[in-house]
Amino acid sequence: MTTLTSVHTQSLFEFTSPDLSEWLKEHGQPSFRVGQIFQWVYQKHASSFDDMSNLSKDLRARFKEHFTLETPALVTEQYDQADQTRKILLELSDGERVEAVLMPRFQERVMTNPQTGEVSGREKFDSYTTCLSTQAGCLFACKFCASGQLGYERNLSAGEIVSQFMTFARQGHRITNIVFMGMGEPLHNLVELRKAVDILCDRKGIGLSPRRITISTVGLVPEIYRMAEESWKTRLAVSLHATTDEKRARLLPVSRAYQIDQLKDALLYYQKQQGRRLSFEYLMIDGFNDSAKDAERMIDICEDLVCHVNLIPFNSVPRSEFKAASPESIRRFQRILLKNGIDTTIRYSRGRNIDAACGQLRMRHEQ
């Protein structure tokens, strides 16, 4: 619950429907005002309380006294002409900087050139997916991720998460899907993430379906059990990236605490409780995790799980010791999984000609 007693200006993006209803009640206003205000903010994208013409002048004045509708300041941005991906670097009120990405959703499956990243039929899209950050920096120091090299600063509040979405929405982009795969480990900020999801899915405002939201995790086992007990209704994607504990520990230090067997037990329990298909994210790294033996171990991991495997060509980051697996190696890996009944696709990263990988734009800008 958002604290309602502060005399300082708060971002309205921090408030769920119950939060705002309570504030209105304390100020002698009916609860139906919540729907009016959320419609102005999240559907009409009002950036000023003065625009809210069906509210009294007195109520608008009170809102201006207590709340702000500001989105974070835009520091810099990049645009990839090949696939029309846009990445922005935003500065929060305390000076911390986070990234968000806007990616076209194509009407039909398109072909991606593995060398250039260019997408065929680029004009055939009608909506967007946005990738949002949940933390400034990241604690988990994954070897393939620039965010981990930046170090961990702090969790983002729910309002700071929602404000990234609103930055794009106010520019007129029709956003139908969200992936929490930006800076930070989403499950390390579970409380504020859940609150942000509630705001994003509130039918009075943005009204996204939870099934159009994907939450990615490196595999925080206790938090996966917690999600299993709660009714999130979102999609869950697990960054696996290796099929042995030894290899996985080289990529994701957190796996020293939570081994693959423990992770699978948590996922089996999650799936039993939630009844939803899982996704595994698997970076294809040359000579490291792209062998036929790795593919066979992947089959064992997928056993008893209803899951989909995304094979992702590695996108190199500064100071990385790894390089992308060859297209032939990736296709061989996919063939082995498909032959054994594992739903598998090759997913080419968007924004390959810009600093679109997590943390890269902030790192480059600061350097």
Active site residue 118: no
pTM of the model: 0.89
Whether residue 1 is contained in a domain is answered as: no
Write out the DSSP string of 141-205. Answer: --TT-HHHHH-EEEEPPHHHHHHHHHHHHTTT--EEEEEE-SSS-GGGGHHHHHHHHHHHH-TTT
Say yes or no: 199 and 329 in one domain: yes
Spatial separation of the C-alpha atoms in residues 335 and 177, rounded to whole Å: 29
Q: Which of 41-55, 147-161, 305-319 has the highest mean pLDDT?
A: 41-55
Radius of gyration of the chain (CA): 21
Q: Which two tokens stand for residue 141?
A: 């120091």
Whether 92 and 141 map to the same domain: the answer is yes
Residues 138, 80 share a domain: yes
DSSP 135: E
Q: Say yes or no: 49 and 113 in one domain.
A: no
Provide the pLDDT for residue 323: 85
What is d(CA 48, CA 224) in angstroms, rounded to the nearest whole number?
39
CA 227 to chain CA centroid, Å, is: 16
Please give the structure tokens belonging to residue 339.
């032959």
Average pLDDT over residues 76-86: 87
* 143 lies in the same domain as 174: yes
- The Cα–Cα gap between 120 and 74 comes to 30
Surface-to-core class of residue 57, CB atoms within 10 Å of its CB (0-12 exposed, 13-18 middle, 19+ buried): exposed
pLDDT of residue 253: 85
Placement of tokens 């990405």 in the chain: 101
Same domain for 101 and 209?
Answer: yes
- The least confident of 60-69, 185-194, 245-254, 313-322 is 313-322
Q: Is there a single domain that holds both residue 61 and residue 199?
A: no
pLDDT tens digits, one per residue of 262-289: 999 999 999 999 999 999 999 999 999 9
Residue 108 pLDDT level (bands cut at 50, 70, 90):
low
pLDDT at 5: 40
**In a shared domain, residues 19 and 112:** no
Final residue in a domain of this structure, among 24, 40, 68: 68
* 59: CB partners within 8 A, 6+ apart: 29, 33
- Assign residue 21 the CATH number of its domain: 1.10.150.530
Residue span of the structural domain in which 59 resides: 10-68
Asked whether the predicted pLDDT for residue 367 surpasses 60, the reply is no
Mean pLDDT confidence for 208-212:
97
Residue of 131, 142, 145, 358 with catalytic role: 358
Same domain, 112 and 221: yes
Q: What is the mean pLDDT of the chain?
A: 89
Q: Is 358 an active-site residue?
A: yes
Tell me how crowded residue 91 is: count the other CB atoms within 10 A of its CB: 14
Residue-wise pLDDT tens digits, 234-245: 999 999 999 999
CATH at 221: 3.20.20.70
pLDDT at 199 over 60: yes
205 and 344 share one domain: yes
User: What is the rounded average pLDDT of the residues 67-77?
Assistant: 96
pLDDT of 113 reads 60
What amino acid is encoded at 235 in this protein?
R
Q: How many domains does one find in the chain?
A: 2
Domain assignment present for 332: yes
- Classify burial at 268, counting beta carbons within 10 Å of its beta carbon; exposed 0-12, middle 13-18, buried 19 or more: middle
Query: Which of 239, 284, 299 has the alpha carbon at shortest distance from 263?
Result: 239
- Asked which of 68, 88, 113 is the last residue of a domain, the reply is 68
Q: Which two tokens stand for residue 194?
A: 């859940």
Q: Which is catalytic among the residues 99, 153, 185, 192?
A: 99
Q: What is the mean pLDDT of residues 329-338?
A: 97
Q: Let me know if residue 4 belongs to a domain.
A: no
Domain limit, last residue, from 68, 85, 110 = 68
- pLDDT, mean of residues 106-135: 71
User: For position 99, what pLDDT does the model report?
Assistant: 95
Longest C-alpha distance within the chain, in Å?
Answer: 69
